[in-house]
Amino acid sequence: RQGAGALGVRMSYNVTNRPSDSAFKQQRLRAWQPILTPATVIGSLGAVAVVFIAIGAAVMSASSGVVSISVRYDEACKTVLEPWNTILTNGTCVVPLELEDDVKWEENDINVYYGLDNFYQNHRRYVASRSAHQLVGTSMGLDSDARLSSDPVSNGVGDCKYEMSYLDPSDGDKEVYMYPCGLIAWSMFNDTLLLREKVSGKHIMWNDGNDACGSHASGVPCTTNPEGIAWQSDLDKKFKSPTAGWIASNCKYLGGKDISTSGFIDPAVFDGSRMILRAATGNCGSPHCGMRVHKLDGTPNEGIYNCWHNTTDEDLVVWMRVAALPSFKKLYRRIPKGALKKGTQYELLVRNRFPVESFGGAKHFSMSSTTFVGGGNDFLGYAYIIVGALCAACAIVFLGKHLVSPRIMGDPRYLHWK
């Protein structure tokens, strides 16, 4: 067969899969391959050993300077367990604790944590039961007062899969959407914790600067709207509050029936015909803001707390970042330097609402100072030291082998071929 070239026809080829003539794509990049001589290997292992042991020693030293205390309080508070859906507080559980006589309690900022055992936040259904679009506001229009779409998917509720809505028996079993929806938000930790000196009765102001509840004058810290406990990246990118106008237009579709007593209404500015809302991104002013309240039969208590206006509440933001293990602790508050006294007896005041007995769980209260690697972490220091020690041991073994029976580099006797 004659080719096209033999007939005098000039063919043009369009090569589309040919890589460009670059050093990277044509594998002409300059490379350096170290020769693993005995000196190189021994020196590298020795250097790694020195660096790792030094880091491990620094971590261990910092960890040894951490002061901490932890107490389990759910067993001591069984007799005053309030219904998880309660609005009014009927009793306070008092748990004693005493700080060590260590000046570090006075010289450091102290983190306060609540902890849960046997609570599987990492369950696949639990983790997936949230709506990122709803929490960040993209499903509702933060700058719009428009009402929700009747389509659960379009307003973001459908992403939650569970605890998306409920049927309102007082309104012909009308479906009411939850905001925020999902199992994570629905099961938010809602114990109230306060700390005071046992002798003087003085409360520790661990929410200093926040007077949303108007309680600083009485010497009691505000129990809501903390600042500085959530990741700033979460607050900036994952949680946004809608406008007050949006809340007013949609709260009844989200379970908010009696909006005048919902906690995000300023009672001082209610003229009988209209209600003036607080700023949606501000403090709610109610000690029960952000608490889901239901009747004993499981139906919402007129939905007055079912419609949360502030998804940037840092207690909620912290809870929504799920834990990887069934036993975990989450940051609750921060105590400024100098607020605690060493060797002093304190009392933990607990409004015990979060039930754990049904799933064999436990609740803990803990306080701790921090270091450059977080709290006390002996494991990290031990890990660095062990790896460094192994590298040092290998370096010593290789050095001994090289000194006792050295190998001449480039000796042709070691060349083998067939």
Q: Which residue has the tokens 């949680």?
A: 239
> How many whole angstroms separate alpha carbon 122 and alpha carbon 322?
7
DSSP labels for 24-80? TTTT----------HHHHHHHHHHHHHHHHHHHHHHHHHHHT--EEEEE-TTTTGGG
* Amino acid 365: pLDDT: 96
What would the pLDDT profile of 19-78 be if each residue is shown by its tens digit? 888 988 888 898 888 888 888 999 999 999 999 999 999 999 999 889 999 999 998 888
Nearest to 376 by CA among 68, 63, 69, 102: 63
Q: Which of 259-263, 319-323, 400-404 has the lowest mean pLDDT?
A: 259-263
Q: At residue 280, does pLDDT exceed 50?
A: no
What count of other Cβ atoms lies within 10 Å of the Cβ of residue 387?
16
Give the tokens for residue 167. Answer: 């049927």
The three-state secondary structure class of 15 is: coil
- pTM higher than 0.75: no
pLDDT classification of 224: cutoffs 50, 70, 90: low
201 is written with which tokens? Answer: 């009765």
Quick one: pLDDT at residue 203?
87
What's residue 308's pLDDT?
57
* Percent of residues, the chain, with pLDDT higher than 90: 32
Comparing 109 with 145, the larger pLDDT belongs to 109
Separation between Cα atoms, residue 59 and residue 270, nearest integer Å:
57
Average pLDDT rounded to a whole number, residues 83-91: 48
Strand partners, 330: 114
Average predicted confidence (pLDDT) for the chain: 75
Nearest to 142 by CA among 237, 278, 240, 265: 240
Q: Does the pLDDT of residue 257 top 50, yes or no? A: no
Measured CA to CA, the distance from residue 385 to residue 69 in angstroms comes to 27
CB 91 within 8 A of CB 350: no
Amino acid at 210: N
Are 256 and 177 spatial neighbours (Cβ–Cβ below 8 Å)? Answer: no
Band (pLDDT 50/70/90 cuts) for residue 381 is very high
Q: Average pLDDT of 84-108?
A: 76
User: What is the pLDDT at residue 372?
Assistant: 85
Domain ranges of the chain: 40-66+375-402, 68-370
More confident residue, 21 or 212: 21
CB atoms within 10 A of CB 305: 24
Roughly what angle, to the nearest 10 degrees, separates helices 38-64 and 378-404? 160
State pLDDT tens for residues 151-196: 554 566 777 887 777 776 766 776 767 777 888 888 888 888 999 9
Q: Of 242, 244, 249, 281, nearest to 265 (Cα)?
A: 244
N-to-C CA span, the chain: 47
Question: Of 166-175, 233-242, 326-335, 402-411, which gets the smallest average pLDDT?
Answer: 166-175
The share of the chain scoring above pLDDT 70, in percent, equals: 65
